[in-house]
Amino acid sequence: MSDKMNPISFEQLLKRLLDEYRINNSFLSVPVSRNTDMDYISAIGPAAGPHTQLAGNIVAAYGAGASHFELKTVQIIDGEALGIVKPCIYSSQEVYNTEWSTELTVKQAADEYIKAYILLKILIQELQLGNINGFNFIMSIGYNLAGIQSKKIDEFIENMKNAKETNEWKKDIEYILSHLEMFENVTQDFVESISPAISHTIALSTMHGCKNEEIESIARYCIEKKALNTYVKMNPTLLGNDAIRTILDSMGYTHITFDDEIFETDLDFPNAVKMITVLLEIAKKEGKAFGVKLTNTFQVKINRNELAGENMYLSGTPLYPIAIAVAAKLEAEFDGKLPISYSGGADTSNVEEILKTGIYPVTISSILLKPGGYKNITKMNVQADKHERVKTGTVDVEALNDLAKKAITHLEYCKKVEKSFAISKDYSLLCGKCNNCVDVCPNRANKKIVKDKKTYVIHYDRLCNQCGNCSFFCIAGHKPYLDKLTIFDSMEAFHSSENEGLVMDGKDPIFRIKNDEVKEQVKEKIKCLEEYYEF
């Protein structure tokens, strides 16, 4: 089984999404739940991570109610050269990962983002889902000035600013124009009116240890030379070693350890304030927006064999009191006039309070890896929509300070006993008991199917990158990405895997199932699922 994703073509995705919506009111098994008011834009969206890596993921998140999409980070090192060891996600109450940018090549990533953008425009118009401009793509790039100025990344940025001359744009638009009979509300005039400006906003990601001069140089380059609205991702280390250690210990996370040296090499608070002050003035002069993204994940030690390697990146529940404290500390310096895009443990219990301070938008990742998956966006919107955003451009410093104080005493964010599931011997290749593996898969590689009042779940090899997230929530204690009946899209993929499953040879399926009795049972059941043999 390969740990490399194989993106779905525009034509396949469009047909699948239209058909699924018309039958089930869903996108890739995620129920579509959106406010269709033409003026409505949600304050919520996925952060740069596994949920903004493939076009289908982005559409699924939009269907759940997202409006802001921080695209997965691209950098000069891409594809297989990244060498990411799988599994790369560990989900308990806290979440860890060892992936740091898109696993696709930069060219593939650009194609996925262009594809997603066009799909959303067409789906919104055809299915009357609301504001045609009611979503926002934010590029995420890293990690140093030399890499960002390279031809590879420069072409990516320019193609995101204007995708009209890209092969993906031309191919997808041509396909729509030659298949207008598929639609009721999409016309030639509408298609030709779609702006090719995918994004004019960037979130700058830098490595731990990157000096303030380098960060400032990159941000200046993005603002002055590339004419981009720019947000700089800040590290949790701005809060300081002692403060972070105190927060983690007081909330029960004594097992989380980190190297003291990261506080010596990362950007410190005084230099961050100086840099931000300079960049705010430059952005004002250039007529561009500038702000900070709070916060990046937090680099910690691997000391319980959670993942492979020496270091991993912490997010989720324990990051919230740290990230919100960084936000409060910075806003106190800038009298509430520093624009903040927030990410760091946001969930249904705190999103309304975060937005009430004036912070906007809020992007999420860890909560989407937990039970409910993309549907947690819908739940967060219920809370977020209770707050009517006042566009003053300022943050209530006092309210933010109060929120930071509350976070470190709130039981919701304290360490709890982790759940563990005993391995069930009667686990079925087609098990559909809890469907957790369907919800928590960021890539939509596990699909729930209901046939004749029976529920099945099958696994698509081409969409799985073996992140491992589904294994933490299987109530039968199994690893669905390895133990589910797997549908392969090629003989090569079939023979290179040990997963039990099938591949199509012409019109006939070839099965690999170890137990002969189970094989006959599955063969009988799978007859009713033939329409799902391909994505």
pLDDT tens profile 466-482: 999 999 999 999 999 99
Mean pLDDT rounded to a whole number for the chain: 94
Give yes or no for residue 271 having a pLDDT over 90: yes
Residue 330 identity: L
Task: Check if the beta carbon of residue 501 is closer than 8 Å to that of residue 487.
Answer: yes
420 has pLDDT over 90: no
On the CB side of 362, CA atoms within 13 Å amount to 32
Cβ contacts of residue 237 below 8 Å, gap of 6+? 208, 244, 262, 263, 266, 267, 298
What is the reported pLDDT for 392? Answer: 61
Per-residue pLDDT at 298: 96
Measured CA to CA, the distance from residue 271 to residue 285 in angstroms comes to 21
Distance CA 402, CA 353 (A): 10
At 38 the pLDDT is 87
Q: Check residue 391 and give its pLDDT.
A: 60
User: How far is it, in rounded angstroms, from Cα 160 to Cα 140?
Assistant: 11
In percent, the amount of the chain with pLDDT more than 70 equals 99
pLDDT tens, residue by residue, 341-394: 999 999 999 999 999 999 999 999 999 999 999 999 999 999 999 877 666 679
Query: What is the mean predicted confidence (pLDDT) over 405-430?
Result: 86
Q: What is the pLDDT of residue 1?
A: 65
Q: Which pair of structure tokens corresponds to residue 449?
A: 């199917």
Cα–Cα distances (Å) from 518 to 341, 355, 482, 511, 528, in that order, read 51, 52, 17, 11, 17
The least confident of 129-143, 230-244, 411-425 is 411-425
Q: With contact defined as beta carbons under 8 Å apart, do 180 and 16 qualify? A: no
110 and 160 in contact (C-beta within 8 Å)?
Answer: yes
Domains of the chain: 1-26+421-535 (no CATH), 32-81+101-242+267-296+335-392 (3.20.20.70)
- The residue ranking higher by pLDDT, 102 or 211, is 102
- Number of C-alpha atoms within 13 angstroms, CB side, residue 3? 14
> What's the CA gap between 474 and 433, in Å, rounded?
10
The reply to whether the predicted model has a pTM over 0.85 is: yes
Q: Report strand pairing: 201-204 vs 136-141.
A: parallel
pLDDT given for residue 532 in this prediction: 79
Q: Tell me the residue length of the chain.
A: 535
Tell me the C-alpha distance between 272 and 146, whole Å. Answer: 21
Judge whether residue 529 has pLDDT over 80.
Answer: no
- Identify the pLDDT of residue 155: 98
Helix (H, G, I), strand (E, B) or coil at 362: strand
